Structure 1
Amino acid sequence: MSDDADEARAEWRAWHERRVAAVSAPYGPLALTGTHWLADYPEGRIPAVPGHWRPTGDGVELTAAPEDSLRLDGEPFTGGTVLSADGGPPERARLSADGGARLVVIRREGEWAVRVFDPGSEARRTFAGIEATAYDPAFAVPGRFRPYDRDRTVQVENADGRARGLGLGGELAFALGGAEHTLQVAVDEGDGGLWAVFGDATGGRSSYRFRFLRPGTPAADGTLTVDLNRALLPPCAFADHFICPFPPPGNTLPFEVAAGERRLKAALATGI
């Protein structure tokens, strides 16, 4: 076994440990107990969520009474304020409620919602780990990013049953099993990192029905490593209240990706 292979395996194990710690953190994806679209509550009252909520043109107007026991920026809050979408992780959300729950304001395609992250969620309590396949160097191959002339948006089904636009910036090409394959990828506007939603022949059988891949930022010539050992479970594998997009047309690989994160250990018979 080469030193490079040993190092790659060690790096993968450290990556996997960081992932398990991140998803099981107090405000990680396992803590999400609800995504409440304000359009579904025109009267402004959301069951089990304190306060009165009303979307405005530029944000969400929140009105709270003392009995709502809300805190804004760490201080007890009553009265009214207008909130914009939270841009950071849930643990940094401006609003918190009794019991340590964080209330996160989000906006998707012009629609506002409030998410509740509860450290005491059942999913956190019953989490037993992520089933993942040990590192296999055969699934780490050279790739090349081929950007589109202009960004494209395709309508894809989401985990909540609604279709939404998925922005795509190009194709990621790589060879595996003697054939070339491509995945349509989104491009992060900040660092240029790539992101793909993909399916494969294990989906719904020995793996979750689809997975994510974040291969990083390509070099100036478009080259990068496509490491399927780092296939990720999407957030909706951890909580039903996420709105993960399904793979766009053409992003289901015609072979088994028996690598990376596969499914939750605590829910081997669900989510597939």
Structure 2
Amino acid sequence: MSTQAQQQAARDWERWHEERTATVSGPYGPLSLTGTHWLADYPEGRIPAVPGRWREEDGAPVLEAAPEDGLTVDGKPFTGRVRLGADRGPVDTSRVAHEGRRLVVLSREGLWAVRVFDPDSAARRAFRAIGATPYDARWVVPGTFRPYPDSRTVRVENADGVERGLGLAGEIAFELDGAGHTLRVAVEPDGSLWAVFADATSGNSSYRFRFLRPAAPAGDGSVTVDLNRALLPPCAFADHFICPFPPPGNTLPVAVEAGERHRIDA
């Protein structure tokens, strides 16, 4: 890579880092998550500090609310009973809200939960920056995506201590300092790749694991592996996320001293 190209890549990385910081610290970014409440844990339908009565009926969550609950659904004051589904869009477009908080419905392996995003969360108020290593061209290497004949699912522990399925569609093969490595990856709906990985810095000078999201591979399987863009997972910003841990084979034996490393608070 020429000097000019490296300088441009460094500027692009700076913009990416600034955008990441803005996203993370936004009113409904990951720092604002204050709880993930599984409906199965509240058979009576009352979730602590969450107004309304939330129950699962016939495979879907149902919300019942009285006027004093102060809930809105689809932007309008809500009283009565409504059947809900999983919120698929950005947090601030969730159907249910309460005094500035967004109550996001999600489903994992047949279980329903309500997540509470509060712009006034303690974590958001304490946050100052994402600690990251400045761009270094040595961490940008060519790779090859090798799809599996059939997608497969492996069981991995999640950040909440529960084991869940992680879908994998193939692996990326690449070299660092002359040594070959692979990462098992999922393929996102837009064709981009997603890896959950750890390395020799994990749990020491970096968070215990990180994400990597390479762009969609070319037709011949070639893909750029840019470890400068290693990401902190959502659970690095709030304990209530259920991020998957790296699957078997995704712990690199080298120290990846690149990308996002840790959260910095006041």
TM-score range, shorter-chain basis?
A: over 0.9
User: What SS is found at the alignment partner of 1:147?
Assistant: strand
The equivalent of 1:94 in structure 2 is: 95
Residue 133 of structure 1, CA deviation: 0.1
Aligned equivalents of 1:64, 1:35: Cα separation in 2: 20
CA distance in 1 between partners of 2:180 and 2:254 (Å): 12
Residue 255 (structure 1) aligned with residue 254 (structure 2): yes
The corresponding residue for 2:103 is 103
Aligned to 2:161: 161
> Which residue pairs with 1:79 in the alignment?
80
Q: Report the CA distance between 1:57 and its aligned residue.
A: 3.0
- Superposition CA RMSD, Å: 0.9
| 1:148 aligned onto 2:148 | yes
C-alpha deviations, 1:136-175, integer Å up to 9, x for none? 0000000010000000100000000000000000001101
Alignment-derived partner of residue 27 in structure 1: 28
Instruction: Return the offset for 1:56.
Output: 2.3
1:231 aligns with 2:230: yes
Contact 1:63 1:78 in 2 (8 A): yes
Give the 3-state SS of the residue equivalent to 1:201 in structure 2.
coil
Equivalent AA in structure 1 for residue 233 of structure 2 = P
Gaps of 5+ in 2: none
Deviation at 1:79, TM superposition (A): 0.3
Local SS of the residue matching 2:169 = strand
Identity among equivalent positions (%) equals 66
SS in 1 for 2:217: coil
Q: Which AA in structure 1 matches 2:71? A: L
Distance in 2 of aligned mates of 1:239 and 1:160 = 11
Unaligned stretches of 5+ residues in structure 1? 268-272
Q: Equivalent residue for 1:17?
A: 18
User: Match of 1:171?
Assistant: 171
Determine the C-alpha separation between the residues in 1 that align with 2:85 and 2:58.
10
Aligned to 2:114: 114
2:56 & 2:97 partners in 1: Cα distance?
Answer: 19
Which 4+ stretches in 1 moved above 4 angstroms? none
Partner in structure 2 of residue 41 of structure 1: 42
**How far apart, CA to CA, are the structure 2 residues paired with 1:56 and 1:145?**
43
SS in 1 for 2:13: helix
Q: How many residue pairs align between the two structures?
A: 265
- Counterpart residue identity of residue 77, structure 1: F
**Aligned match of 1:126:** 126
1:58 Cα shift?
4.0
